[in-house]
Amino acid sequence: MTDHTAASVAELEALYRERFAAFARVAAAISGDEQSGVDAVQDAFANAILSLADYRGDAPLEAWVWRIVLNAAHGLRRRWVPGPDVPSDCGNGRPDEDHEVRAWIAALPQRQRLAVFLRYYADLDYRSIAHALGIEVGTVSATLNAAHAALRRSHLEAHT
Amino acid sequence: MTDIDQRVAAVLDRLEPATEHKPDWEEVLRRVSVAREREAGGAALTRRLPLHALGRKAAFAIVLAALIVALVAVLPGTIGRHRMTLVDRAIAAIGNGPTTHVVLDQGVGTRLVDFRTGRTTLVQMRIEYWSDPKLGTLRISTLDGKPLQTILIPPSQNAVLSDWWRPLVTGYGAQLRNGAYRLVGAGTIEGQAIDWIASKPQTFTDANSGAPHEYVREIAISRTTYKPVYWRMRVDGVVQPDSGVRVIVAETLPRRPALFAHRRPFTGGYAVTPTAPRTTLARARAEMNPDPVVPPKRLAGLLRTWVGLPRYLAPGNSYRDQIGGVELYYGHTDDLGVPTYTGSFISITEFPHLNPAVTAQGVRVFPQDAAIVNNASATMKTHGLYVVIKAGNGDEALAAARALAR
């Protein structure tokens, strides 16, 4: 590994161990199942090690890794397609409601969906979401608001 | 949080419960090894990996053996009882010294366009490198023979060197010896008979779009001197218009510590990020002095799709204290609305002040009321701003420069 990088493999390992659950959860939400999510995280960190020279400290290490994880998860994406092919028994409870909300989330524009995942599953603050998605902090707020508004609309349409 | 938000949160929790998998760092490291082994074996990567990161050393021995078999049949010539291959001759021509001396002519088609007179003149932009793995790399840039900038890049900051031709400066001889290149064809460069050798295709994932790309470095080797005379990059099978450099000198020499003595190491550094925060023209106008120059919303047939902060950063900078200025991008964006910098595009970055993040990138001349236009880029000073233009081709770069000069 070159010595001019802004972060070390040890820092990556520390981040991996500390935030594995959050990475895996978001990746699973994007890729479609838990195993694919874990697979994406493993691939992403391997990729991060191999491309560590590209990280130059211009953003937090975690934000940089999030970007790689999101890309890896997209590569393995299988689910989150709205429509009848979504199995109704996915999730751990209330299948009909889960199915319904899943379809609403799947119908969100990608940026909104990713922002929701990063907010709910990874508990990232707005700044970290902005770094991970390469957008402004103010845009994160607007994106999440738009996602919530869309979900509210879907809920109203489905239940009125 | 409204009821629906709580409901969504609750359902999200159920839909994707916390994983029961445990972190497995050993598995991550195993995948790193597998990726490198795949590269060594020449198999297609099922997981795309970054260009520079792919392991090479293990591949070299295998490829070298294959090259020797393949090239011996093609290239006649003997030394003693052994047939000399093109690569053998190229290795002999570059020498085996610890210091690499390279002079590159970036001026293939580079021109100065004077917007006051309308005159266009060819200019010679050259960069001379003296590179020593222990002492660093001395980079001397010139315009029409006049020195513009001399800096010493410490070995730890090799990333400052252009990605395009860094391997030529820091490891060409070693790569030849390790069998990293193979013969791919013949041709002529400026009337000179050459053979093309190419590195093994390497794949990497675009950090923005996630799209895989295949990179190949191609070198034209003179059939007379067996030295490299031209260097270019091919991405996804397409020669990159801004990657070509004419190689004026390429040699290795004994160590020359005097050259590196009394040089202040370059500390400015720079980095180009894949993305930068989006901004607005109104905010850019409020924050920049002078005001940004904003061409029409449609430029050279391309629509302005992004206004952001410059992607140029000094090391250690955070987005919060990013170098001032603005980037106006015309062209295709990905599904997150982020510029892809592919196909036809124009990226105009305007800086109120020169800084190392801007000037560190090779030769950077900012002529007043004129532009230095290369195959796919341009630099200029206009309305008090220092401007770097990147584009899909030279015509697009020139169109942007003309629009800014008005």
User: Residue B277: what are its φ and ψ, rounded to 5°?
Assistant: -60, 145
Which parts of B149-239 fold into alpha helices (H)?
Answer: 166-177
Residues A103 and A55 in one domain: no
What is the rounded average pLDDT of the residues B93-117?
86
In a domain, A140, yes or no: yes
Which one of A12, A58, A121 would you mutate to disrupt binding with B, by most B Cβ within 10 Å of its Cβ? A58
Which residue's entry shows tokens 């004077």?
A: B114
Residue B276 has pLDDT above 80, yes or no: no
Grade residue B49 by pLDDT with cuts at 50, 70 and 90.
very low
Q: Cis (ω within 30 of 0) for the bond into B290?
A: yes
Residue B238, strand partner residues: B235
pLDDT of residue A77: 55
Does B309 contact A at CB distance below 8 Å? no
Q: How many domains does chain A have?
A: 2
**Which residue in B312, B309, B310, B306 sits closest to B334, CA to CA?**
B306
Residue A64 has pLDDT above 50, yes or no: yes
Residues A75 and A103 in one domain: no
**Chain B hits for A155, Cβ within 8 Å:** 4, 7
Residues A67 and A8 in one domain: yes
| Top-confidence residue, A154 or A119 | A119
A68, A92, A133 ranked by CB distance to B336: nearest: A133
Residues A21 and A62 in one domain: yes
pLDDT of residue A60: 82
pLDDT of residue B314: 55
Q: Cβ A67–B274 below 8 Å, yes or no?
A: yes
Q: By the 8 A CB rule, do B376 and B331 touch? A: no
Q: Cβ B12–A121 below 8 Å, yes or no?
A: yes
Residues A118 and A57 in one domain: no
**Which of A60, A81, A102 lies at the terminal end of a domain, its last residue?**
A81
Residue B211 has pLDDT above 70, yes or no: no
Q: Cβ B8–A151 below 8 Å, yes or no?
A: yes
Any idea which of B112-116, B194-198, B268-272 has the lowest mean pLDDT?
B268-272
Which of B102-116, B258-272, B353-367, B387-401 ranks highest by mean pLDDT? B387-401
In a domain, A144, yes or no: yes
User: Residue A135: what are its φ and ψ, rounded to 5°?
Assistant: -130, 175
Does B208 contact A at CB distance below 8 Å? yes
ipTM above 0.90, yes or no: no
Which one of B2, B6, B8, B338 would you mutate to disrupt binding with A, by most A Cβ within 10 Å of its Cβ? B8
Residues A29 and A75 in one domain: yes
Residue B79, strand partner residues: B82
The secondary structure element, H or E, covering residue A106 is: helix A95-107
Residue A23 has pLDDT above 90, yes or no: yes
**Which of A81, A114, A146 lies at the terminal end of a domain, its last residue?**
A81
Distance CA B168, CA B219 (A): 9
Question: How many angstroms from the chain centroid is the CA of residue B214?
Answer: 14
Residues A11 and A74 in one domain: yes
Residue A30 has pLDDT above 50, yes or no: yes
Which residue's entry shows tokens 């890309």?
A: A71
Residues A4 and A67 in one domain: yes
CATH of the domain at A55: 1.10.1740.10
**Which of A14, A49, A81 lies at the terminal end of a domain, its last residue?**
A81
Using one digit for the tens of pLDDT, what is the confidence trace for A77-136?
543 332 222 222 223 334 455 666 777 787 788 888 899 889 888 888 888 888 888 888
In a domain, A87, yes or no: no
Which chain A residue has its CA at the smallest distance from B7's CA?
A: A101
**Which residue in B4, B264, B1 sits closest to B136, CA to CA?**
B264
Any idea which of A13-22, B57-66, B288-297 has the lowest mean pLDDT?
B57-66
- List the domain range (segments joined by +) for residue A29: 1-81
Q: How many CA atoms lie within 13 A of B243 on its CB side?
A: 19
CATH of the domain at A133: 1.10.10.10
Does residue B95 come out as left (phi exceeding 0), alpha (psi in the -120 to 50 range) or beta? left
pLDDT of residue B73: 35
Neighbours of B394 (CB within 10 A): 19
B27, B207, B315 ranked by CB distance to A6: nearest: B315
pLDDT of residue A103: 73
A50, A68, A148 ranked by CB distance to B5: nearest: A148
Q: Cβ B19–A6 below 8 Å, yes or no?
A: no
Mean pLDDT computed over every residue of chain B: 77
* Helices and strands of chain A, counted as H and E runs: 7, 0
Residues A122 and A61 in one domain: no
Q: By the 8 A CB rule, do B338 and B275 touch? A: yes
User: Residue A50: what are its φ and ψ, rounded to 5°?
Assistant: -70, -25
